[in-house]
Structure 1
Amino acid sequence: MSPSRLQEALAANPQVWGGWVVGPTILGPEEFAAAGYQYVGFDVQHGYLDDADVALLLRRLEHVPIATAVRLPSADPAPIGRVLDAGADAVIIAMVESAEQAGAAVAATRYAPAGVRSFGPLRASLGQDTAELEARVSVFAMIETARGLAAADEICAVPGLTGIYVGPADLAISMGYRLADAWTHPEVRAAMVAIQTTAQAAGLVTGIHAGAGKLGKTVADLGFQMITLASESQALRRGAAEHLNEAVGKTHDEHEQRGYQ
């Protein structure tokens, strides 16, 4: 059976660094792998992708040394099952605000009698053993709202959950702040730290959507383990701007770009 590259990376490193894919790119995930990123996330919530697009991209990455995660908008078991059948190492479920929602996400990754996942792996390398198929899957609940923050203790106590993944943008907005306050307002920063502390105390992996390299360093120092740095569109913009500035002989301070959170 194909091992979980994400579980292997998390076991071997204090932090794992990820890229993010929001469109049906063929080159993006491979370039993240070539650059040394340890995982790539595919965005079915905000990106221009559906689970069928993701299945094709996952098949292309079967022999590329990078772990994979898929963000989905809900705990609907059908799309969760399809991306897992295609070989995703992890699912990240958006906007989780209760233990019940987190439990539903876990159940969607487990076969009966423990869950509601339907059997049907699409890759021969995944094997046929249901216990092994379940064991290779990591399940992350996104805490990114004030209601999710208030329920963090209950969410983190859900059996079978692998980790918590923080979305700073929605968290700031739901707390009544501007998007620009996501990384600067003390109360938003304190909320992120509180979520990380609660999840870590529960023995869970802590992930976050940093959206930029400098912010990635900041959240690594806060103890987060799974850190998404940039989307393929951000990386393209930054690289394209640097090439243009080199060509025309200009220099400028690099502004960190915000990505999908």
Structure 2
Amino acid sequence: MSSRLQDALAAQRQIWGGWVVGPTMLGPEEFAHAGYDYVGFDAQHGYLDDADIALLLRRLEHVPIATAVRLPSADPAPIGRVLDAGADAVIIAMVESAEQAAAAVAATRYAPAGVRSFGPLRASLGHDIAELQSRAGVYVMIETARGLAALDDICAVPGVTGLYVGPADLAISMGLSPADAWTHPQLTDAMTRIRRAGAAAGLITGVHAGTGTLGKAAAGLGFRMVTLASESQALRRGAAAHLAEAQDGPAITDASRGYI
């Protein structure tokens, strides 16, 4: 049994994602209705707990959109809970070594291959251990200078599905500003290096773009999984456009940056 995320990646060169940082019931469905391929739930920087994510995932069971959850570490308990609740993949923040990447993989695998505890919450996922493991994507975030230095070792870890770039934190770690994330040659070179290393290792490469314009640039660099905007960014842009229309003001452009 493949996941929706696996199916989308198998069918399309690029897939486009939305991002959710708060416990909104409407945001994920609106992303799906707009034609987005996946939605990410942010348990690192967002205001979401396990119960929120479980409810959101259950609400999307019959909505045609794939799901991923970003977590702050490779702690196996939270990883197991979101997978039990039906997430297609986990995105693990701040991975800086092959050991951390291996720990993330182990948290998605049952014994003897890993440390995941058996506790399914979604009847629709069934109870087949092999299928539950095979549908669980493991994306590790390369967003620090240390992670960049360990890139080849991380790519070689068995079971890693893909690399996911956090441009803002990568910029900060390299002594630059988040505003430099898509313009400074040192950063664009680093992102290109990550994309090429992932592709060479047979991994999916993703990136947090934050806007449609930057998403187009990311696709041009060859990234296959591109997150465009959070629900708060989409709301802000839409609200500003409506206000500008009402006041007969200038058109809203895709100029705001998203750094999450």
Q: Normalization by structure 2: what TM-score?
A: 0.98
Q: Give yes or no for contact 2:213–2:254 (8 Å, CA) kept in 1.
A: no
Instruction: Name the structure 2 match of 1:71.
Output: 70
Instruction: Name the structure 1 match of 2:129.
Output: 130
Instruction: Name the structure 2 match of 1:146.
Output: 145
Give the distance between the partners of 1:139 and 1:182, measured in 2 at CA: 24
Give the distance between the partners of 2:54 and 2:191, measured in 1 at CA: 32
Give the distance between the partners of 1:89 and 1:193, measured in 2 at CA: 26
Identity within the alignment, %? 77
Give the distance between the partners of 1:182 and 1:115, measured in 2 at CA: 35
Q: Give yes or no for contact 2:21–2:47 (8 Å, CA) kept in 1.
A: yes
- Is 1:11–2:10 an aligned residue pair? yes
Instruction: Name the structure 2 match of 1:102.
Output: 101
Instruction: Name the structure 2 match of 1:257.
Output: 256
Shift of 1:255: 4.4
Root-mean-square deviation (Å)? 0.9
Shift of 1:252: 3.8
Give the distance between the partners of 1:78 and 1:145, measured in 2 at CA: 24
* Unmatched runs of 5 consecutive residues or more in structure 2: none
Q: Once the two structures are superposed, what CA deviation does each residue of 1:10-52 show, in whole Å capped at 9, x if it has no partner?
A: 0000000000000000000000000000000000000001122
Shift of 1:260: 4.1
Q: Give yes or no for contact 1:208–1:226 (8 Å, CA) kept in 2.
A: yes
Shift of 1:254: 1.5
The aligned amino acid for 1:196 is: R
Q: Give yes or no for contact 2:95–2:101 (8 Å, CA) kept in 1.
A: yes
Shift of 1:258: 2.3
Segments of 4+ in structure 1 off by > 6 A?
none
Instruction: Name the structure 2 match of 1:111.
Output: 110
Shift of 1:104: 0.2
Give the distance between the partners of 2:254 and 2:200, measured in 1 at CA: 35
Q: Normalization by structure 1: what TM-score?
A: 0.98
The aligned amino acid for 1:146 is: A
The aligned amino acid for 1:101 is: Q
- Is 1:190–2:176 an aligned residue pair? no
Instruction: Name the structure 1 match of 2:60.
Output: 61
SS in 2 for 1:229: strand
* Unmatched runs of 5 consecutive residues or more in structure 1: none
Shift of 1:99: 0.2
Give the distance between the partners of 2:51 and 2:242, measured in 1 at CA: 34
Shift of 1:193: 0.4
SS in 1 for 2:28: helix
Shift of 1:53: 1.1
SS in 1 for 2:140: strand
Shift of 1:251: 1.2
The count of residues paired between Structure 1 and Structure 2 equals 260
Q: Give yes or no for contact 2:178–2:259 (8 Å, CA) kept in 1.
A: no
Within 5 Å, which residues of 2 pair with 1:22-61? 22-61=21-60
Instruction: Name the structure 1 match of 2:238.
Output: 239
Give the distance between the partners of 2:51 and 2:148, measured in 1 at CA: 32
Shift of 1:253: 5.0
Shift of 1:256: 2.4
